[in-house]
Chains A and B, each alone.
Chain A
Amino acid sequence: MTPTHAMNVRPESMTGSQAGFGFRHCLMVVAVLLVWFAIVSPVQAEVTPQRAQALLQALDTDDFDAKAEAAQAIAASDAAQKTRWLEALLDGRLGRERRGERFYIITDDSGREWPIIDAITFEDAGTGSRRSVDAFRINNALRTQLQGLIASLSLDEGDEATRLDAAKRLIGEVDAQSVDAVAAQLDDEESSAVRAEIETALALYRVEQGDASALSTLRGNLDTRVRNSLSTIAASDAPIAAEAGETLAGIESKRAWYERGQTLFFGLSAGSVLVLAAIGLAITFGVMGVINMAHGELIMLGAYTTWMIQQLLPGQPGLALLLAIPGGFLVAAAFGILIERSVIRFLKGRPLETLLATFGISLILQQLVRTVFSPLNRRVASPDWLQGAWQINEALSLTLNRLGVLLFCLVVFAALWALMRYTRLGLEVRAVTQNRTMARSMGVRAARVDMLTFGLGAGVAGLAGVALSQITNVGPNLGQSYIVDSFLVVVFGGVGNLWGTLVAGMSLGVINQVLQPWVGAVLAKVIVLIGVILFIQKRPQGLFAPKGRTS
């Protein structure tokens, strides 16, 4: 398709009220006829191999419009294989022999040699590769059309979800010809969810025709197509413009509330990432006073542990992720203890040297990962229950991976807090922090406490890595991007205070997300940084100052 040719198609595709590809109309008809098809399923017969060959032959063109017609012809034909053909075409697995007449379906297109079957007889045809089989290509418009065609062909099992999907597509697409059929469909429909969508579609049509009474059905509807149609009507000089404007205002204010809710969620989830990354540091830096520049690399090790466990358990990303929680903790804690025993304990009370030494360790760890694994990012799969979004309504949806991280962050925080508050280790840590000499004279083994505390902080960093593997890249540079933010959160929250870290992280996340739409991501970060610096000038001890005479 040359650009000029494509340009010619353009005006035609813009005639629909919804801008989009030219196949909307066909989808609508499919949706309207859904019920009838379900009752009278067409009788399918074998077609002759010649006819089948001709149907597939028509797909062999570089012109996507011609291909669309060919797909339409296949769907309308009597060929028993048609569903499988269309599905294979949709997956890019239907193709023809490069120097020959046969058509093949590729049954597995991973790797470089593919098992193939004959597309007409479905008989095994050995293997093919990209050199021998030329798979038919589809584009976005054709893909949308094929999905509609396949849905219409599998209507026999048209369950509620399929019908709901079809009904949703009706909104904004009802016209004078189809309105009666849609109304009839409404009468036959039993599912209330599907009914609601059809009612919205019908009401929108009536409102567009100037029927003010239908507006009540649309009140508070969050569908964007409803909003767009209403704003067109409200801006026009139609007799119902004022009433439409009123309904629209109601919809807009409802949406605004949900949007605020959404921003809050975004902020909390961004904050939870900060808290997770920083809370390990809150222990090592905040409680022990060690400036650990390798903290980010401990996070990275946790993420790599997740990846390794997933490699060991292929096909079970969920189980692997759960196992990675103790795994990531232990690996990072082990490295943390190693660092503490081999370097940090010899530099006690010399913060500048600790800073430089741990910075060196961070470079060593990064390059170690680059050498052992590779400089390329590793792909950590997400289990199904962390993919997609929890769609509360049209205006508010919470992405599941972010929600998961938020909950995980709260659990980790609660566990850590309980550990510091109720266990012997927690008591000893607090004792050593408050007065090292006194604690030692009371029989607390301060060196052992140092080691365990550092291991704990490192292990929590590992946990952060496990969580981060679900929302960002797992690569050698993972840690670098979090180290500065982590220090920022700990300093802002008040050194040595877990609650401070939680509140600081969450509020920085929310402030950042609120600012972002106005000033952009780069400036939002700058503003937050300046804000924190000014705050620290005013209140050097941070949000939550440690209690006691020394502070």
Chain B
Amino acid sequence: MNKITSTAALLLSMGIALPAAAQEDTIKVGILHSLSGTMAISESTLKDEMLMLIEEQNEKGGLLGKKIEPVVMDPASDWSLYAEQARDMLTGDDKVDVIFGNWTSASRKAVLPVVEEENGLLFYPVQYEGEESSENIFYTGAAPNQQAIPAVDYLMSQGVERWALLGTDYVYPRTTNKILEAYLKDHGVADDDIMVNYTPFGFSNWQSIVSEVKDFGSQGKKTAVVSTINGDANVPFYTELSNQGISASDIPVVAFSVGEQELSGIDTGPLVGHMAAWNYFMSVDSDANYDFIDNWVEYTGDDMAVTNDPMEAHYIGFNMWLEAVREAGTTDVDAVKDSIIGVTVPNLSGGSSAMMPNHHITKPVMIGEIQDDGQFSVVWETSGNVAGDAWSDYLPESQNLISDWRAPLRCGKLNVDTMTCEDGAGAE
């Protein structure tokens, strides 16, 4: 059945991808986000945002004197289709200079070998589980140390002693929870005080799990839920929480995949006080953010349009790439890969973000509490930027690994104890 889906979706997407070959001398930017299927709910907004950013840049005169031309494809939430279309973008008639795309880790893992083989550039805008570094991928979303660890620190400071780690059953929640479990145990949390539970994608039958959490939280110790529940399953989860009367003052939930976009589908009245950890909230107080929101509202023509963290990541990523191309004077992939490291551009929360040698960026970490208008109010923020860490320091298998793509090292997986490179150009 899956084969039929992908074939059908491929046929559909070809129709969208064709109308590119019009102008000759343009810089082509690939946008690889699902516009149909399960992930369309999250990814279609990012496609619109990229189109807006490209349009704005063209109004400012384009790049290197040329216009930027978007090449949009629809991988239809099918992971293998992401890989096929990425190859199309990198080798096809309208060969793109850079790709902005992907959301789920599964799709990124599918595209990774393709961009490495064809030597492309991919900007990946979503928070992810880390434990990966590719010479051709730039991770503008948060690594676990830029989201999960600070969030747990904050909850500990609020007196939380028992932890329910709930997640959707795939690589991101499993790895993140593995890191969190190791981190909590390092901080003296007993095995009995940690509950881990995984549910399938799109799960909607939350009653017994929520009631289990309620029971877990009624043992006399302050309890919190750390949620890596992804996508559609969140709405029934939060509805069930409020129906079972679990308020944020009883058992607060801190989520890593719930942003303004996801909340726009829920009545947030009963959820006030539940939290999310991100590097950006639509409510952050900065002129850059207000301008961005104004532009976005104007571009979408929807007064209620919301912005979210992955959108900021694309905003930062796109500006970094522009800057790196200007510096290199060419869109040549190898030149841009070298020039982008160290590039610093303003982010939307009033500071600036820099591209690190491990292809992750620096950003502030914020904890926001849900308000009744569907927005978050920032209750805690790191005092400065946190640099993304590709290999977690809290997992035994990766604590002595680093990644540094600068010459002459050029290594994505360097063991600092033995100084041997396990992956990357420097390995040979």
| Residue among B169, B266, B285, B371 making CB contact with A92, cutoff 8 Å | B371
Asked whether any CB of chain B lies closer than 8 Å to the CB of A471, the reply is yes
Chain A residues with CB under 8 Å of B199's CB are: 520-522
A525 contacts which chain B residues (CB < 8 A)?
A: 200
B157 and A389 form a contact (CB under 8 A) = no
Interface size class of B (residues with CB under 8 A): 35 or more
User: Using an 8 Å CB-CB cutoff, how does the interface string of B358-380 with A read, 1 for contact, 0 for none?
Assistant: 00000000000101110001111
B191 interfacial by beta-carbon distance below 8 Å: no
Q: B159, A21: Cβ atoms under 8 Å?
A: yes
A262 to B207, CA, bound (A): 10
Closest beta carbon of chain A to B220's beta carbon, Å = 4
Number of A-B contacts (CB under 8 A): 184
Name A19's contact: one of B37, B222, B242 (CB within 8 Å).
B222
Q: List 10 A-B contacts (CB under 8 A).
A: A18-B220, A20-B159, A143-B248, A375-B36, A377-B235, A379-B264, A473-B265, A475-B41, A477-B202, A512-B205
Kindly identify which residue among A135, A137, A138, A388 contacts B243, using a CB–CB cutoff of 8 Å. A388
Q: A128-150: which have CB < 8 Å to B? A: 130-131, 134-135, 137-141, 143-144
Contact between A367 and B36 (Cβ–Cβ < 8 Å)? Answer: yes
Among listed A107-115, A209-217, A328-336, A455-463, interface-contacting one? A107-115
Task: Find the B residue at minimum CB distance from A379.
Answer: B265
Q: Known contacts A18-B220, A377-B235, A400-B243; is A477 also within 8 Å of B38 by CB?
A: yes
Stretch binding the partner chain, chosen from A3-11, A30-38, A185-193: A3-11
Task: Judge whether B245 is part of the interface by a CB distance below 8 angstroms.
Answer: yes
Chain B 212-236 against A: per-residue CB contact (8 Å), 1 yes, 0 no? 1000001111100000000010011
Contact among A3, A14, A266 for B207, CB-based, below 8 A: A266
Q: Is A140 touching B369 in the complex (CB atoms < 8 A)?
A: yes
Residue A544, interface by CB 8 Å = no
Residues on B facing A (Cβ under 8 Å): 1, 4-5, 8, 12, 35-38, 40-41, 44, 150, 153-154, 156-159, 161, 169, 197-200, 202-205, 207-209, 211-212, 218-222, 232, 235-236, 239-240, 242-245, 248-249, 252, 264-267, 272-273, 283, 285, 287, 290, 297, 303, 369, 371-373, 377-380, 382-383
Query: In the bound complex, do residue B378 and residue A399 qualify as a contact, i.e. CB atoms below 8 Å apart?
Result: no
Q: How far is the CB of B78 from chain A (nearest CB, A)?
A: 13
State the interface size on chain A (CB cutoff 8 A).
79
A399 to B243 CA separation, bound complex (whole angstroms): 6
- B36 and A481 contacting across the interface, CB-CB below 8 Å: no
B377 touches A137 (CB 8 A): yes
The reply to whether A134 and B285 contact each other, CB–CB distance below 8 Å, is yes
CB distance from A492 to the nearest CB of B (A): 18
- Please list the residues of chain A having a beta carbon within 8 angstroms of any beta carbon in chain B: 1-3, 6-7, 9-10, 13-14, 18-21, 64, 91-92, 109-112, 130-131, 134-135, 137-141, 143-144, 224-225, 228, 232, 262-263, 266, 269-270, 273, 359-360, 363, 366-367, 370, 374-379, 381-382, 387-389, 391, 397, 399-402, 471-473, 475-477, 481, 512-513, 516-517, 520-522, 525
Q: Identify which of B209, B244, B369, B379 contacts A399 (C-beta below 8 A).
A: B244
Residue of B nearest to A269 (CB): B207
Docked pose: A360 CA to B8 CA in angstroms: 9
CB-CB nearest 8 A-B residue pairs: A6-B157, A375-B40, A224-B218, A228-B220, A19-B222, A472-B204, A139-B379, A399-B243
- Complexed CA–CA distance, A110 and B372 (Å): 10
The 8 Å CB contact of B153, one of A3, A18, A232, is A3
B8 and A363: CB pair below 8 A? Answer: yes
Residue of B nearest to A8 (CB): B157
- Complex Cα gap A370–B239 (Å): 24
From B36, B153, B245, residue with most partner A Cβ within 10 Å = B36
Contact at B36–A140, with CB atoms within 8 Å?
no
The answer to whether A379 and B220 touch across the interface, beta carbons within 8 angstroms, is no
Could you say which residues of chain A place their CB within 8 Å of the CB of B202? 477, 481
Q: A10 with B249: in contact, given A137-B379, A522-B198 (CB under 8 Å)?
A: no
Q: Which residues of A contact B200 (CB under 8 A)?
A: 521-522, 525
Whether A359 and B159, one on each chain, are in contact in the complex, defined by CB atoms closer than 8 angstroms, is no
Contacts A13-B159, A363-B8, A377-B41 given; 17 further ones with Cβ under 8 A? A3-B150, A3-B382, A21-B159, A262-B211, A269-B207, A273-B205, A375-B35, A376-B41, A379-B264, A389-B243, A399-B240, A473-B235, A476-B40, A477-B37, A481-B204, A517-B208, A521-B199
Task: Tell whether A130 pairs with B290 under 8 Å between CB atoms, given A140-B248, A399-B244.
Answer: yes
Q: How far is the CB of B408 from chain A (nearest CB, A)?
A: 37
Cα–Cα, bound, A404→B150 (Å): 41
Also in contact, A140 and B249, with CB within 8 A (given A359-B4, A375-B44, A521-B200): yes
A residues near B36, Cβ cutoff 8 Å: 366-367, 370, 375
Which residues from A are CB-within-8-Å of B373?
109-110
Q: Which residue of B lies closest to A142 (CB)?
A: B379
Instruction: Verify A375–B41 contact, CB threshold 8 A.
Output: yes
Contact residues in B for A513 (Cβ distance below 8 Å): 205, 207-208
Chain A minimum-CB-distance residue to B38: A477
**Smallest Cβ distance from B217 to chain A, in angstroms?**
9
B159, A14: Cβ atoms closer than 8 Å: yes
**A residues near B44, Cβ cutoff 8 Å:** 374-376
Are A140 and B158 neighbours in the complex by a CB distance under 8 Å? Answer: yes
Report the nearest A residue to B220, measured CB to CB. Answer: A228
**In the complex, A374→B42 CA distance in Å?**
12
- In the bound complex, what is the Cα–Cα distance between A359 and B379 (angstroms)? 49
* Residues of A contacting B235 in the complex (Cβ-Cβ under 8 angstroms): 377, 472-473
By beta carbon, the residue of chain A nearest B162 is A19
Q: Contacts A112-B303, A140-B248; is A378 near B265 (CB within 8 Å)?
A: yes
Q: Note all chain A residues with C-beta closer than 8 A to B285.
A: 130, 134
Query: A298 CB to closest chain B CB, in angstroms?
Result: 18
Q: A3-B154, A375-B35 are in contact. Are A19 and B169 (CB under 8 A)?
A: no
Q: How far is the CA of A546 from the CA of B287 in the complex (A)?
A: 71
